């Protein structure tokens, strides 16, 4: 299979490096200084967990012009960028292509073939003009939940911090032939990628943490350890998690969550800045709508009150606008 990594940032670059090392045919689409560095010197991948410090050459392009159509496209883009590039990505997909989304937060396809009144609902905060739904089409999508932490230390250098697990899943939760084949490809590269029994439940479990911890980290300018050691901030985080958990329950998602353990787990990660705080400090667009704005949108449809979530969202949005890092 020919594979394209569209957006070789932290996670996209990690996947590209591990796939290439496993002997797979990989093409990268990158931009700016990152593209220039990879094009001239290759992509460096460093990881203590994988015991790797390697530099590999790739077929790398700054855009999709003159590219072929791919069997698998793995999008390493964040939610706001995915919306902007939907038409471009569609041009490198054929009818049976798989598109693996790796966004934090609620993905645009979340309610595709969903049971209940939200079946095929198109989330406005994530895909405001329905461009992804129209051009990419939800039937091509494979969902994922990304647990590894990595960063682009400088153009052309990906530093893997921890984690080898990326859950994969069909939107209809079927054990299709394509999801089983894709899972084997990820495993062959050293990425633990089981096929999910319910990808929406897996997404929501991670969402409960990211949707609360990430925006609060921006407001407090604090690491996970700092936030999760103070009683007052723990109380705010827990109350926000409870609101998001309740929305999941209203959607009939069966969530096995111990909020106290979830917060303690975040504390044990240590002095790590969330990806949202990192983006905020570097004045890059933050994923606030996919992480938290989408929760508020769904809560309104379901008639649920989420006062803590709403307050945290509004304060974070104000800070992001002032810092010129709110998308749009």
Give the catalytic positions in this structure: 206
d(CA 5, CA 27): 6
Q: At what angle do helices 199-220 and 259-269 cross, to 10 degrees?
A: 60
| 270 conformational bin, left if phi > 0, alpha if psi -120 to 50, beta if neither | left
Instruction: Please answer whether residues 131 and 319 qualify as being in contact, where contact means their C-beta atoms are separated by less than 8 angstroms.
Output: no
Q: DSSP class of residue 292?
A: I
d(CA 101, CA 292): 18
SS3 state at 293: helix
Distances (CA, A) of 213 to 10, 83, 235, 279: 20, 24, 12, 14
Range 80-115 burial, b when 16+ CB lie within 10 A, else e: bbbbebbeebbebbeeebbbbbbbbbbbbbbbbebe
């Amino acid at each position: 299979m020919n594979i394209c990594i569209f957006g070789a940032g932290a996670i996209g670059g990690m996947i590209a490096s591990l796939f290439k090392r496993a002997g797979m045919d990989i093409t990268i689409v990158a931009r700016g200084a990152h593209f220039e560095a990879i094009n001239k010197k290759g992509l460096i991948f460093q990881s203590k967990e994988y015991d790797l410090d390697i530099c590999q050459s790739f077929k790398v392009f700054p855009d999709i012009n003159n590219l072929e159509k791919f069997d698998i496209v793995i999008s390493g883009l964040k939610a706001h960028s995915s919306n902007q590039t939907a038409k471009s990505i569609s041009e490198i997909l054929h009818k049976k292509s798989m598109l693996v989304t790796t966004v934090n937060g609620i993905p645009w396809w979340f309610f595709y073939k969903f049971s209940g009144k939200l079946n095929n609902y198109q989330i406005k905060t994530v895909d405001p003009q329905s461009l992804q739904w129209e051009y990419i089409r939800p039937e091509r999508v494979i969902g994922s939940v990304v647990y590894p932490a990595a960063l682009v230390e400088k153009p052309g250098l990906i530093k893997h911090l921890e984690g080898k697990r990326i859950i994969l899943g069909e939107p209809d939760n079927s054990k299709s032939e394509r999801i089983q084949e894709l899972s084997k490809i990820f495993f062959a590269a050293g990425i633990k990628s089981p096929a999910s029994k319910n990808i929406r439940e897996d997404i929501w479990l991670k969402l409960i943490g990211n949707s609360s911890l990430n925006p609060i980290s921006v407001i407090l300018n604090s690491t996970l350890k700092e936030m999760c050691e103070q009683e007052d901030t723990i109380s705010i985080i827990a109350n926000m998690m409870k609101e998001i958990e309740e929305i999941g329950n209203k959607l009939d998602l069966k969530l096995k969550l111990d909020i106290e353990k979830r917060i303690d787990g975040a504390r044990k990660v240590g002095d790590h800045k969330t990806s949202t705080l990192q983006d905020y400090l570097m004045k890059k667009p933050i994923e606030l709508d996919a992480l938290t704005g989408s929760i508020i949108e769904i809560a309104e449809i379901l008639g649920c009150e989420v006062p803590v979530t709403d307050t945290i969202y509004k304060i974070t949005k104000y800070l992001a606008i002032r810092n010129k890092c709110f998308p749009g």
